[in-house]
Structure 1
Amino acid sequence: MMSSAKWSLVLFILGCFFQGCSKNPNDEPKNSAPIASFFATPEIGDTSTDFQFDASGCSDTQDPVSALQVRWDWENDGGWDTDFAADKIVTHRYNVADTWTVNLEVKDSGGLTGSATRQVTVNNYAGAIELQWVAIAGGTFDMGDTFGDGQGWELPVHEVALDSFQISKYEVTNAQYAKFLNEYGSDQVKAGEFAGETMIFEYSRGVEKSDETWRPAPGYDNYPVIFVTWYGAFEFCSFYGFRLPTEAEWEYVARGGSMSNGYKYSGGDNPDAVAWYDANSDKQTHHVGTKAANEVQVYDMSGNVWEWCRDWFSNAGYISWPPSNPQGPEFGNFRVLRGGSNQIDEKFLRVCCRGSNYPTYFHNTFGFRCAR
């Protein structure tokens, strides 16, 4: 029989054993706050840029990254713009140019959080290409229906003398016009003689407005701007210190200026080589400059879109026009359109063909180019 002393020793040993095997709550590892981390791509963009924010670099001692949740504050204004979510990669577009501080908060399964900030720089929309100019040497030419197959308002054929000037190599594009609208701050004329007049309307192959910012329709940056009124063409030119070409200047350039070869269409006698028109365009606008240039290296003066000119139109023809630098009638109801378009036949592509419409009118075949 075991003595009481031995039992005491056994109980002491067992007590020590069980005491050593038990866990002390204070010895367990504590949950620590997750570490927030993210980067932005790109860090510098403009109001057309979709910035991507990637928080997949967040970490936590207890939870895997997939278990962490994040939320975002895009403007550092003290309010969260998104709810907590498991997605770590998101995009955001800014409508106002500025340097923006972006806040990220990450949360683990225990409710602990961590935060991080970064800055992105947003510039004004700058996707438009600059206008390219062609210098046109002054000279004289016979203006009007020199081919004998036009309308009465293309007569009489008369000699015109012009001073030297410059004209834009291409029709004004959607990207260029969207840039103008964002810089101008309105789609209506803001001041002056034409204040309040509408300049342009949204269109699927033209320019579109989203979140107070104008942009080219996706994929149509360098297509000619359309759905633009005469007032919209005039104000664009005025805003940048340019002007619309006079009708006489327009025809002179379309004919090839002082280098003219006497072609019926601008750049040649084969319309398919120089123009987008109903027979080859699918009756849609096309990227500027994709047909052959004319003698002075100006593009699309036949076809693609009708182009607004400065002048009032008179269906009486060229009656009482001065022989030098004519500016057209002093008043009228319609403004001149030139060049034909993608939706009509080759008769309207002739360099002497005249069109017109109300200055308030817009269409998916109306555009323009600039002069100075």
Structure 2
Amino acid sequence: MQITARGRHRVPQASVPGQTFAMGDVFSDGVRPDGEQPVHPVRLPAYEIDATTVTVSDYREFVAATGYRTEAETYGWSAVFHLAVAEGSEIAGRMAGTPWWLGVSGADWAHPAGPTSTAADDHPVVHVSWNDAQAYCTWAGRRLPTEAEWECAARGGKPSQRYPWGDTLPAEWPCNIWQGTFPTVNTADDGWVTTAPARSYEPNDYGLYQPIGNVWEWCADWFSPSYYAVSPLDDPRGPKTGAARVIRGGSYLCHDSYCNRYRNAARSANTPDSSTGNTGFRTVAL
């Protein structure tokens, strides 16, 4: 639907100073199809980015003002992790190659585990597609961050580090990721089985909460594993076309045994109409 109303974006802002930084994976942690290399310099002007992901409460205000229906609502289902499905939910299908993802009828941003579940206001909104995130941005007078802006902000001014805080995971869990045996046993040692409140754990040095872990975050760019080899120095915007949009930061499902993408340099992608229980977004000022 066409968004004509204009709303108020209430997410606190973090300031990222203009700078040149090294973008990409200096540790060779990633896999080749993700295209995290070559490491290359990127120069960005200063910008303002959301300190947290957009929350359920923020998205509810948008929906109430516009009557917008997400693509999950239009399709009638969305992807829910198998251990998170609400009791009594109808399974519409299974995801090819990832049987731990179930298509659950009635799962959407307000009902993240199925139609009988309720989304917590202070948690990241999930089950929003790239198109749904764009619709919010139009209403709020915002935009999705470019992939370069996202990585620069996540690094928090600390160059070439694996995580926002350093190169290793400390004993105290610094982010919301999987503990246990993926995908069958989650010990929830960090306190969370699925999403944590958007303002959880310590922010990075720019004031961003949970740029890694918790939920994947949509970026503006089309995805290409070969883009870094041709990326311009100044304010890169990604390929001109593509089949999938970039997602960044990993989620509560990331674990070294399967997906170690809870890193500053890690990248992945999904089609613009896809929605899952572990993907949300944050925005940037126009």
The one-letter code matched in structure 2 to 1:170 is: T
The CA deviation at 1:129 is 8.6
The CA deviation at 1:262 is 4.3
**How many angstroms apart in 2 are the aligned matches of 1:273 and 1:139?**
30
- After superposition, what is the alpha-carbon deviation per residue over 1:9-61, rounded to whole angstroms, capped at 9, x for unaligned? xxxxxxxxxxxxxxxxxxxxxxxxxxxxxxxxxxxxxxxxxxxxxxxxxxxxx
Aligned partner of 1:322 among 232, 236, 239: 232
The one-letter code matched in structure 2 to 1:264 is: R
**How many angstroms apart in 1 are the aligned matches of 2:191 and 2:233?**
37
Match status 1:178 vs 2:60: yes
Match status 1:293 vs 2:203: yes
Q: Runs of 4 or more off by more than 4 Å in structure 1?
A: none
Paired residue for 2:3?
none
Aligned partner of 2:140 among 240, 246, 255: 240
Match status 1:270 vs 2:141: no
**How many angstroms apart in 1 are the aligned matches of 2:269 and 2:284?**
19
Q: Which runs of 5+ in 2 are unaligned?
A: 1-6, 79-105, 180-189
Number of residue equivalences: 230
The CA deviation at 1:261 is 5.5
**How many angstroms apart in 1 are the aligned matches of 2:50 and 2:165?**
16
The one-letter code matched in structure 1 to 2:46 is: S
The CA deviation at 1:281 is 5.4
The one-letter code matched in structure 2 to 1:297 is: G
Report 1 or 2 for greater relative contact order, CA contacts < 8 Å, sequence distance ≥ 6. 2
- TM (norm. structure 2) is 0.73
Range 275-284 or range 238-247, more displaced = 275-284
The CA deviation at 1:288 is 1.2
Aligned partner of 1:350 among 252, 257, 263: 263
Paired residue for 1:47?
none
Q: In structure 2, the residue corresponding to 1:234 is in which secondary structure?
A: helix
- After superposition, what is the alpha-carbon deviation per residue over 1:268-304, rounded to whole angstroms, capped at 9, x for unaligned? 4326543100023554001112111111111110100
- Percent identity of the aligned residues? 34
**1:21-100 correspondence runs (5 A):** none
Assess if the C-alpha contact under 8 Å between 2:26 and 2:160 holds in 1.
Answer: no
Assess if the C-alpha contact under 8 Å between 2:249 and 2:263 holds in 1.
Answer: yes
The CA deviation at 1:148 is 2.0
- TM (norm. structure 1) is 0.57
- Which one has the largest radius of gyration? 1
Assess if the C-alpha contact under 8 Å between 1:307 and 1:337 holds in 2.
Answer: yes
RMSD: 2.7
The CA deviation at 1:150 is 1.5
Aligned partner of 1:367 among 255, 276, 280: 280
The CA deviation at 1:208 is 4.5
The CA deviation at 1:188 is 5.0
**How many angstroms apart in 2 are the aligned matches of 1:353 and 1:287?**
22
Q: Which runs of 5+ in 1 are unaligned?
A: 1-125, 190-196, 210-216
Match status 1:252 vs 2:185: no
Distance 1:365 1:281, change over 3 A: farther
